[in-house]
Structure 1
Amino acid sequence: MTVQLCVLLWARPGAAEALIAYEDKVLALLGEHGGRVVRRARTGGTDGAPTEVQLIEFASRAGYDAFLADERRTALAGERDAAIARTEVYPAEFV
């Protein structure tokens, strides 16, 4: 069963470019797990808005779980923590 997600990301103050760089790295791993970026957008993060919004799709729950557990992704936890203040992930239905 397909997994579709809406991901909202808020950068730490002054770390928008670091958030983008981190996301570039980890999103590059999606294809190896049956995933893909449907759309990626940036808001500028003003007035409480997320810095980046992503629509991501995986062919299966197993692929999503494998992506989350990918050692290359988890090895970047320090980089992620330095750049990203908050993340919200919502199951979604793309229309």
Structure 2
Amino acid sequence: MAHTDDIREHMEVIGADGVHVGTVDRVEGDRIKLTKEDSGAKIEGAEGAHAGHHHTIPLGLVAAVDGEQVRLSATAANAITFEEEAD
């Protein structure tokens, strides 16, 4: 597992396929909270259906923290299936 302590606000979250999943708002417990503006990103098949809400993804999906990017072990399309609405 990656060093999740290195995850900071405004980092880009990308799937294993290099597709943008969201932008980090903050880490809460065992989940990454994505910014509202970027939650429900337009990933093929998702079409931003839940835009305007905070979404979270589990830290367990983090494969690496590299520069200003959080890289996931799942593709973007698969990662969004793990998203939960935070509010």
TM-score class normalised by the smaller sequence: under 0.3
Task: State the structure with more CA Rg.
Answer: 1
> TM-score with structure 1 length normalisation?
0.26
> TM-score with structure 2 length normalisation?
0.27
Structure that is richer in helix per residue: 1
